[in-house]
Structures are given as structure tokens and as C-alpha cells.
Structure 1
Amino acid sequence: MNKLTPPQFAAALLALLLPVTALAEDDAQQEPLVFEAPPLVITGSHYKANSFNLPFSVQRIEAEQATEAKPKVNISEALGSVPGLVVQNRNNYAQDLQISSRGFGARSAFGIRGIKLMADGIPLSNPDGQGQAATFDLDTLDHIEVLRGPFTNLYGSNSGGVIQLFSRDGAGAPSVSANTAMSAWDTQRYQAGAEGGNESGGFLLNQSQFSTDGYREHSNASIDKSFAKLTLTPDIDTRLALIYTRLNQDDTKDPQGLTWDEYEENQNAASPNAELYDTRKTVDNSSLSLNFEREFSAGTWQNTLYGGTRHVTQYLSIPKFVQSNPLSSGGVIDFDRNFQGASTRWIQPFGLFSGELTVTSGLEYDASSDDRQGYENFVGDMLGVKGALRRSEQDDVTSLSPFSQLVWEKDRLQLQGGLRYNHVEFQVDDKYITGSNGDDSGQVTYDGYTPNLGVSYLLTPQLSIYSSWSRGFETPTLNELFYSGPDGRFGFDLDAATSEQYEVGLKTRLGRNTNLQLALFQIDTQDELVVLASVGGRTSYQNATETERQGIELSLDSRLTDSLTSRFALTDMSAIYSQDFVSRGQTVKSGRHIPNIPQRSLFGELTWQPLNGFSTGLEALYRSNLYVEDSNTAKTAPSYALVNWQARAEQQVKQLTFNQVLRVDNLFDREYIGSIVVGDSNGRYYEPGPERAWYVGAGLEYRFE
């Protein structure tokens, strides 16, 4: 795909628009149609808005689509139908999912970075942009909103995409529920919950436990989640929500990546060093948050307050001889984190030029503080145990961001524009200074303004076109700074990446029951952060020169008959380095592909509900090959296609509701690489995906009357 200028983008959209306009006009000339109201979303505007009129790509996924007939373990189950989003389930619970949005976040060595994760308006990403999707609770889900494109910068630095989950409020007569499920590799999951509410408030409680031996050697995991939500509505203008969450992972094993030869010999294997050093991770994460919203005659006041703790102990496979270096920080990571934050915003509508202007202004503050230690992963000849202290420091990250967003609407026209100032500060207080291991204390600050502009226009009641633009920036995360300086020290000299985004698109209703969204996008980035080296569980980074990403996204949702529905998503994207740069003494030529970004992704789903209380369906996923390092010379992770099948039944007997689920993933038992470790210096890039696996579940709910 060749680079398009903004005028060429507009011409390409017009070429695609003409036939769609003709279809919409043909429908308009027939008998009047009754259309379902487009979904309301708040992501991208901070207040409830009709997604059809917004000048950016945003998808709303209802709980039914996200969770029914699915294990409810990972959000990868829920996001396949969102174009532009690549969700790779590593099936490695010590490292979490890999998620990228239009290429943002693709380089992450573990967890999720470059994408803003939120739940009920509370950030689940640290102020440096690093987050973990494992804290999401799908049992309590109401819906998910996924924002892509230029308006993601409304959420600050490190927001190349936004994934926001919303839990449901407890409502109706009190009820209790319990579910159990079993799957391959001795995988088990149990869930129990209670909820209820009235016009004055509600409650929602949930507890789940998941355990698995893993399909690969040395990959067993145990995850417990707790969730509690209390909502209060003392009057029609006031709403308050208090939410508590806890995630506990005890001794989760890490099988690590494989070389290509190791993968071909045994795709279920763990890396030799993973078993030698017993690589594993323990996480205990808890948070408490408060949402308060008050309607006034002049506007709406929204506030959030949150805080929590996170403890992590992780055993890496760094060899003993590597740790003999005085600058080594050992092979065991151990830290206690306190995090907190607050935000406030005022939403004010005005009448202006016979239209309506809505102004949203606010301030967001986020902070985290790590008491971090590093230890040797051996004692004498015993490996995989906590040994001598090699690191001790205090790491603080703070973010402070005022912003303002304006939306003006009149008849069929909507204009949006906004500006955010981002201030992110890193401070390191080194407490381990011995011999040649000097003082690594210091601080670095990143500041930047991120503007955005957008316009949308309704050509017909069933056809909207739009265009948007923004500038953004992406700071390194704390983990990316740790080993990226000279001699593996703290990388205070890493720059933030800056980007400019363009998007044009259309949203339309074809016939009575089909929704289509189409977007073309281009992203030009300077100082892109790329992997410099990845050895023994530690990854260092550097700034490349420039990159270009451009592509097309298409989503199509249709009700084919009263009992048959379909969903389809396509992403076709080119992501390349647009200038030469030097990495590990080798020149990476312009035109090389950015690792871990597939050129093409396809998703299709067909669901059949022949009668009330029973449904069955097929999911299909295709992903093109993945480059694994910057030079593009190593063996690529091959393209693959997977098919999954599921069936669900439900029966109601008075106040009891029963449900049963049967599911088979990877129906045709394909061998494939599910995810990669970008730039691994030992060539262990490849993380195999699981073979065919069955899943069966059953549950009940009792509602009091």
C-alpha cells in the first residue's frame, strides 16, 4: 500500500462513497424503513452521544455479544469483531494479552502499552501507559466501547487506542447465580454472584476462580477475581458508584517463547531456561474507586477518585553468569506499587449560531509509586529461588493533564475540536549503590499538547461521512526506560514518539437490518520507540526515525433473517519504517515492516437462534504473517485461519434460570503461532497457539420475588 496524501484520502473515500450513496437513495425511494436507534457511547466525547454522528471510529459491544457461550476469562474473547484491533491471546497468564490498535502497542514485551485501558471511567493503565487486561471482569459486564483513530488523544499520552469496559448496575429483584465450566488441560472455572436494586440504588457482587495446567509445558495458572459495586441515586440528578476489585494470581508459570526449531520439534514445549529457572509470576492487585455525577440546570459535573495497590514477584531466566556483571539488577523482580488518581470535568451546553455547542473541560491527575527490589534468581547451585539483593529503588510516575473539547451541532452537521496538555514525570531514587554500581537516580519529564479536529455530515438519515485529524505523543513506559540507557542503565535520554493521524470514513445503514462502517486512516510517527534488544526476559528500547501506517477498516453487522445474524470485520494495513536507522550495529532500511503488525486480519461470525432459549454459531479468524524483528530477515510467524463453534441453551422454571454451554475452539486443529516476542535476542520469538480444545459449562440463577 503506497502512501496517500490527505487529498488522496478524501478522493478514495469519495470513490467508495458513491455506490453506497446510491444504495441508500434506492432504499429511501422504497417504502419507509424503521431503523433501530444507533448505540449511545461516551468514549470519545465524555457524554452520551449517538455513535452514528461522531467523526471517529468507535464500536460498542454489548455484553451478550462479548460473553455468551464464551469462557469469560480474557477480553480477547470479546474484541475479535472490532476492525483495527489485533488481540493476540498469548495463553501465557504470566505475560497477559497482546493488544494493538492500528499498530499502537504492537511492540509490548508484556502486558499492554500504548492503549488506554479503562473500567467504569477509571484508568487501568498506569500514568506511563503500561496496563494489564487481566484485571477486567467480564462476569459483571454491561458493554465495551472501543475507540480508534485521531480522537484517542483526548485520553492523553500513550492512548493510541481506548478500550473501556462498563459494568452493569444492580437492578430489579435480588438474584443469586452460580456457574461452573471445564475445558481441556484440566482447565476449570467457578463463579458466584448476587445483585439487585431499585430506583434508589443497587448492588452487584461477583467472585470467580480460574485454574489451568496450560496446553504448553510449564504454563499452569490460577486466577481469583473479586468485584463489588454499590450504586446510589438519592435523587434523579445525582448518581454515585463505589467499586472494589481484586485480582490474585499465585505462582503463574511462564513458558516463554521458542525458537523456530524448538517449535517445529514440539509446539507444546516451554523454553529450556523457563523450566531450569522455574520462571513464574505472582500478582496481587486491588483497587477502590468512586464515581460521582451531578446534573445541574446549567450542565453536568462528573468526578472520579481511585486508589489501589499492586504487588508483583516475578522470576526470570537470566543466567547466573549474566548476573555477575556489577550493573545487573538480578533475575527476580519484586515491587510494591501504590497508585491513585482523580479527575473532574464540567459538561456545558450552549446555544450558538442556531445550533448547539457542548463544551467539556476537565483536569486529570494520575500517580504511581513503586518500592522496587531486584534479587539474584539463585542461591549457590539452586536455581529459581530468591537470592542476594541486587537492586533497590523508588520509582514515581505522575501525570497531570487539563483538557477541553468542543462539539457544535446543527441539523446534519457536527464539528468537533479539542486540546489537551500532557505532563508526565518519571523520578527514580536509587537506593542500591555499591562499588561500580553507581547512582542511577534522576528524573525525566515529557510535555506536549495534543489537538484534534473532526467533522461529520449526514448525507441522508442513513448515511454519515466524516473526517478527523490529530497530533499525539507517546512517552516511554517505566519498564522501557529501565534498561535503555548506556550499559543497560536507566534510559533518561529516550524521547517521546510524536504522531500525526488522519482518518476519513462513513457509517451507513443498508436496508432494514445491515450496519456498515468504513474508515481509511494514516499515521505518521517520528521517534518511534522500537526494541533494541530482548535478552533473558529484559527488553531495551531506542528511538527509530520515522514510521508510516495506513490502512482500511471495514465492519459489517447484519440480521439476515429473524433467526440468523452475522458479523464481519476486515483490516488491511501497511506499517513500515520510512527512514533508515541503526539497531545493534546493523542498519534497518526504510521500507522494512514494523514487527507484530499483520497486514491483513479478517473476522467473521454467524449465529443461528432457531428458537427461544437455544443458539449456535461459528466464528472464523484469519491473520496474515507477522514479522518478528526489525530487519525482517528472521522467519516470520506464518499466517493462519481458525474456526470456533459454540452452542448455548437456556431454560426457565419459575424463578430459576438454567444455562448450558458447549464450545470447541480451533475446530480443525490447526497448528499456528498465537503471538510473538518482538526482537528476542535469543531467537525465541514464537509463542504457539493451542490445539483443538473443548469447553463445557453450566449455571443457574435464582431471582427472588
Structure 2
Amino acid sequence: MINHARFTLLLPGLFALCNTALGDDSPLILDPSVVTGSRSASPSFDLPYSVDSISREQISDGQLGINASEALSRVPGLVVQNRQNYAQDLQISSRGFGARSAFGVRGIKLIADGIPASTPDGQGQAATFNLDTADRIEVLRGPAATLYGSNAGGVIQMFSRNGEGPPRIGAETLVGSDGLNKNHLSAEGAVQGAGFVLDASRMDTDGYRDHSSARRDQTFAKLNVEPDDDSKLALIYSSLEQNGTQDPLGQTWAGYKADPRSVSSNALAYNTRKSIDHQQLGMNYERYIGDATLQVNAYTGRRSVIQYLSIPDKFANGNPNPANARGGVVAFDRKFYGGSVHWLQPIESAPGELTLITGVDYDRSEDDRQGYSNTVNGEHGVKGALGRDEIDTATSVDPFIQANWLLGDWTLQAGLRHSTMKMDVDDHFVSSNDGNDSGSKTYQKNTPSISAMYAFTPDLHAYVSAGKGFETPTQAESAYSSTANGFNFSLKPSVSTQYEVGLKARIGQDTRVNAALFQITTDDELVVQQSSGGRSTYQNAGRTLRRGFELGMESQLSEQWSANLAYTRLQATYDSDFTNNGKTVDKGNYLPGVPQTTLFAELNWKPRDWISTAVEGMYRSKIYVEDTNQKHAAPGYSVFNWRARFEQKVEHWTFHQTLRLDNLLDRQYVGSVIVGDGNDRYYEAAPGRSWYAGAGAQYSF
């Protein structure tokens, strides 16, 4: 795209422009406004639950703009594991929700500009977040998240920026270790009251591990207008394309220790890979009607996926039964659409400030899904005979009501949502050897939440929060059964009861501290029964218990120095015995995929308007990889990163450069794990010391 400009943009001569630089020397924002949870803009310090906002500067300053893990690691309660595998995406868990995910994100509601990045059954892809256009990311944890329906163990919302100011165009390039190359073009601004943001990027990488190369193309377009003085309208289009993304699968412990870049022999034999083509279009409309506010959202899109797995195919042995080839190659074309209508009504006759919010959210996804043999005439990794053909539909309809009430020194919030998720399977592959596996299952539950905060002083607030939530099996989790060929409709939703108490304090004008204690009890926890070759089956366990402590701190230490800290201590255990795959899992065993301790710290120095540099440190304790806790746990580790950004402004031009070094001490460590892998390939190695350098230019008209 813009390869010809790469080395020109990196010329050191640009640094000579520093004396004429003009920069944004804004201090750290300690009390940002958020909409997640309250559904209307409110200072996060005044909300009675754990919610954090990551600013545009934190998302982009010295970061690569490739993975959401770059920004989310600074949020307490979250564990973000970069698999170094673009075929499977990031693994994100919130207070333990989502830790078992074999691919993508589940158990956490992902939303981008009001458009769900999670399907109605709870499966999401963080890769659809376009970080180059992000204005902020809001993260909600705890009982208040249950007001977002099923599969909302937490909520992560990304908001793109509006087109504002004079029109401008920009180009940016980034290079780095393991063949990383990202090129990025953008245009944004406002013309005659209409704002626009246009963005396109291409990222290529050879990958840290063997057989892990990827190409990712993203486009984004946004038009925001104000039709009249009382309304706002935004139209948003985005796309994600990944063709032939290689999947190195997991590593055994011996394989990881011998060579952290190693790849499973099955990955090479079957050429495991995945292609994604995703497009979506959305509309957000807001209108002020007297004191009330009407919010309307609608969206539609399509997603096509074909994935080549390493599951040995019994067709290769001459077995004529199609039921024995349920999907060595998985392909689906998805149509998805939905919308929401919310009404925010202040109650003037009530004491204090009372706002009632009511609405309904509707979401639907329909997969035209096929499964094929992955072996033809002894050749692996090719599309062979059809072994599965069905239409899988997930639909959710969720009405809710919520009240936000500021009454003197008290802030009260209560809400109730009735969540319904229906899963339908229409089996088109029926024969004498393969019966009709059609069926449907409906999950529904009321999810209440109540929170209360008391302001002891303007700078010291304490709150309590409680709620009930539930988590349905996803279509992917239900797709296979260890005892039958069709869907596993015997899976039950897990039901959680959550409690949280917390303190929010401002120390002077420059430091903010958030602390929270929480407890989560879950019945019928969904756990991995077996994972092999990229396919996983699931079952319900008994009870689980999670108790934890979170601490977040942001401080503007001086005009030039600022610091951030995020600490999480989480004790996540099974609270009853159960049997998994013929093995007894004892009460007191730790949940796999959940570290007990996570710490992120950052020290940022901005000596001049045109330069900022920071050191990041992260510690994560060991992680168990399966339910019995007998297999080798992924060891704990500490890593340190350094970043710097330089900016110069000359007349209509703005130039910037980025330098970054990750894993400064060149530690070898396991960056993520695959929970319950049946071949003992639980481990995914993280890169050693890595370097990145980028530069860009922007012209304002």
C-alpha cells in the first residue's frame, strides 16, 4: 500500500523539526465519562460498580494498533492472552469468565459503536475492533454487567471517534520482528457539518512460531451528522479479511522447551489454516424529545469462514459412513442482524435525580454451516467429501428496565433484564447412515442487578453491588458431542451469583485509586471435556467459587511523569467434585486458564510536548491447563517493555515516529494456554525480545 514511503518516513532528519513542535500536553484524565452500565454519560468515579475507560492516547501512544491486548492489559480483572495465533484470535477473560475459550472471546459481551461483536450465543472476535479508529474503550466488570444479558461476565465496548475539525489525510507504516509489516491510510474531518472517518490498513507477519503467518486487511468508514438541533446520526461500515491465516496449534511441554518456535507435526501435515471475510454496516440514532432521550441502533452483516483442522478423518481409512467425518474442514456463511431501542426518561417529580431507562435488544445470527473431510486420496489439508450440512440459528430478544438515582450522597442503580436465547439446528445432511440431528433449545432467565454508592466525601466513595447472570453454551460449544454425532443439546447454561464491594478515592488532584473485592458462585459451570485438533467438546461441571481483589491506580506524579497500576488477585476453584472424561476433578482444584495473580504497571515520562516514553511491566502467576491440575502448569513470568513516540508539527504537516521494544530481558515464557487439549498440546509460546519501528505523516487542509 505505502511501502515506498517506509524508509523515507523513518529518516532521522525529521527529529530536527522538534524545536517547532506543537503537541498536546493534556494531563492524565482521572475521571473520564463512560456510558457502559448507566447507558448515559456519567463520570466513572460516580458509578457504583467497577468500570474503566481507556483513552485514545493510551490506545495509540507507542502501540502497534494490531491487538486489543495492547490496551486491555492495563485494566484490573482482565486477563488478556495473546496466542500469537491470528487464526484463533485473543483469549480474554474477566474475573475468570471466558478463560476456557478455545478460540476467540466468549462469556464477555463485545460491542463496537453499539454493534455487538459477539453473537447472540456469546461468541465474539476482538479482531473486529479497529484500534486505529478508536476514541476510547470502556470495560465493565462485576454484577452490573449482567444487565447486558446472557454471556456478559464482563462488557468491553469500543467507541470510534467522530470526524471533527479540518479535513486531513494521513499515511503510516510499521515494521518489526518476525516479518511484521503494517501499512495504514486514513482521512477524517468535517465538511459542512458532516463528519467523516475513513481508514484502511494491511498487516502482514511471518509469525513468531513456525506455520503462523497471517495477513489482515481492515477497512472502516464512519459518517456522523446532526440532522437538527435535537438529533445525532452515525452510519458505520467496517470489514475484516484474513485469507489463509496459518494455525500452528498448541505445543506439548517437551516441544515448547526444546524449541519455543516449534509447531505440531499435525499442523504441517494437515496445513491447518483459517480464512475470514467479515463485513458489517450499522446505524446509531439519538434524539432528544423534551427531557427524554431516544436511542435507536440497527446493524446487519455477513461473515464467511473456512477452517482446516488437524482432526484425523476416518474417510481416509475407507470408512463409507459420512457420520465419521463431521468436520475436518469447517465452513460457514453467516448472516447477522439486529437492533435496539432505548428510552431514557428523567423523572422530574422524584427527589434527587432519577432516570428510568427501558428498552429491548434483538440480535440474530444464521450460519449456513458445512463440514467436510480433510483428506482426499491420502492427501491431507484439502476439502473432501461432505459430512455435515445444516443451518444453525441463534436468536436473542431481551427487554430490560433500569433506574439510575442520585439522591443526596447516595447513588442507586437497579435493573432487570429478561434474556432469551434460542438455538435452532436444521440438519440438511440426513441419510440411512446419519440420522436427522435437527432440534432447538431455548434458554431464558431474568438477570437482576442492584448497586448502591455512598459519598463519604467528594473524593471518597464506597459501593456495594449484587447481581445474577447466566451463560449459555455457544453454538461452537454445542456443535459436537462425545457420545453422539449431532449437537450437544444436553448442555445446560451456567448460572452465577455475584457480589462486589469497592472504594473509589481521589488523592489530591492527581491520583485516583479504585479497589474492589468480589465473590462469584456458579452452578453448572461449562468446562472443556476434551479439546483435540482444533475441535472441543464441553460438559457441565458442578459449582465453582471465585473470590478476588482488584486494585487500579492512575497518578499524574508531576507535570512530566505519570504512572498506572492494575493488580488482580483471583482465587478461582471448583466448589464440588465432578467427573470429566473419566477422571475425577476434586473440590478445591483451580480453574484452568485463570492465573491467581496478575500485575500491570507503567511509568510514563513526557519531558517535552513532542516526546513521550514509557516502561511497561507485567507479571502473571502460573496457569493450570486442565481440570485435574496434574499436567505441567504454565509457569509464571515477568516481562518488561519500552516504548517511545515523537511528534513534530510544521505548518499543515504533522509527523510522528514510534519505537518499541517488547520483552526487554528476552524471557522465554508461555504466553497463553489451550485449556484441556486432548493431545497435551496446552502451551503457546510468546516471542522473545522483539523490536518495532514506525512513522507516519498527516496533512491538514
TM value normalised by structure 1? 0.94
Aligned-pair CA distance for 1:281: 0.3
- 2: CA distance, partners of 1:103 / 1:45: 24
Aligned to 2:176: 183
Matching residue's letter, 2:506: R
- 2: CA distance, partners of 1:407 / 1:104: 26
The equivalent position to 1:212 in structure 2, one of 200, 205, 208, is: 205
- 1: CA distance, partners of 2:633 / 2:407: 51
Aligned to 2:77: 84
Aligned to 2:277: 284
Task: Give a deviation string over 1:40-87, Cα, whole Å, max 9, x none.
Answer: 110001111121111100001101011111110000000111000000
Q: Does 1:155 align with 2:148?
A: yes
2:661–2:690 CA contact under 8 A, matched in 1: yes
How do residues 437-586 of structure 1 correspond to structure 2 at under 5 angstroms?
437-484=434-481, 486-586=483-583
1:53–1:457 CA contact under 8 A, matched in 2: no
Q: Does 1:329 align with 2:326?
A: yes
Aligned to 1:174: 167
- 2: CA distance, partners of 1:312 / 1:623: 33
How do residues 592-607 of structure 1 correspond to structure 2 at under 5 angstroms?
592-607=589-604
In structure 2, the CA distance between the partners of 1:148 and 1:435, relative to structure 1 (3 Å rule), is same
How do residues 119-268 of structure 1 correspond to structure 2 at under 5 angstroms?
119-197=112-190, 200-268=193-261
Matching residue's letter, 2:286: E
Q: SS at 2:127's partner residue? A: helix
Structure 1 vs Structure 2: percent identity of aligned residues? 51
- 1: CA distance, partners of 2:253 / 2:617: 26
1:531–1:678 CA contact under 8 A, matched in 2: yes
Q: SS at 2:167's partner residue? A: strand
How do residues 318-357 of structure 1 correspond to structure 2 at under 5 angstroms?
318-321=311-314, 324=319, 326-357=323-354
Where structure 1 has 5 or more consecutive residues not aligned to the other structure, the ranges are 1-33
The equivalent position to 1:620 in structure 2, one of 617, 620, 625, is: 617
Q: Does 1:293 align with 2:286?
A: yes
Q: Does 1:425 align with 2:422?
A: yes
Aligned-pair CA distance for 1:36: 6.9
Aligned to 1:23: none
- 2: CA distance, partners of 1:660 / 1:488: 55
- 2: CA distance, partners of 1:434 / 1:693: 54
- 1: CA distance, partners of 2:42 / 2:645: 33
Matching residue's letter, 2:469: G
In structure 2, the CA distance between the partners of 1:37 and 1:638, relative to structure 1 (3 Å rule), is closer
Matching residue's letter, 1:574: Q
Aligned to 1:16: none
2:405–2:411 CA contact under 8 A, matched in 1: yes
In structure 2, the CA distance between the partners of 1:622 and 1:35, relative to structure 1 (3 Å rule), is closer
Aligned-pair CA distance for 1:353: 4.5
2:547–2:572 CA contact under 8 A, matched in 1: yes
Q: SS at 1:486's partner residue? A: coil
2:480–2:536 CA contact under 8 A, matched in 1: yes
Aligned to 1:676: 673
Higher relative contact order (CA 8 A, sep 6+): 2
1:327–1:436 CA contact under 8 A, matched in 2: no
1:360–1:406 CA contact under 8 A, matched in 2: yes
2:313–2:324 CA contact under 8 A, matched in 1: no
Aligned-pair CA distance for 1:381: 1.6
Aligned-pair CA distance for 1:361: 0.1
The equivalent position to 1:93 in structure 2, one of 86, 89, 93, is: 86
In structure 2, the CA distance between the partners of 1:199 and 1:594, relative to structure 1 (3 Å rule), is farther
Where structure 2 has 5 or more consecutive residues not aligned to the other structure, the ranges are 1-26
Q: Figure out how many residues of one structure are paired with residues of the other and give that number.
A: 671
Aligned-pair CA distance for 1:437: 1.6
The equivalent position to 1:379 in structure 2, one of 376, 381, 388, is: 376
Aligned to 1:60: 53
Matching residue's letter, 1:646: R
- 2: CA distance, partners of 1:50 / 1:654: 36
In structure 2, the CA distance between the partners of 1:221 and 1:35, relative to structure 1 (3 Å rule), is closer
Aligned-pair CA distance for 1:37: 7.1
Aligned to 2:295: 302
- 2: CA distance, partners of 1:640 / 1:381: 43
In structure 2, the CA distance between the partners of 1:485 and 1:681, relative to structure 1 (3 Å rule), is closer
Matching residue's letter, 1:306: Y
Aligned to 2:405: 408
- 2: CA distance, partners of 1:35 / 1:409: 27
Q: SS at 1:65's partner residue? A: helix
- 1: CA distance, partners of 2:345 / 2:58: 34
Aligned-pair CA distance for 1:199: 7.1
- 2: CA distance, partners of 1:136 / 1:575: 29
Aligned to 1:4: none
Matching residue's letter, 1:587: T
Q: 566-575 vs 404-413, which deviates more?
A: 404-413
- 2: CA distance, partners of 1:201 / 1:254: 43
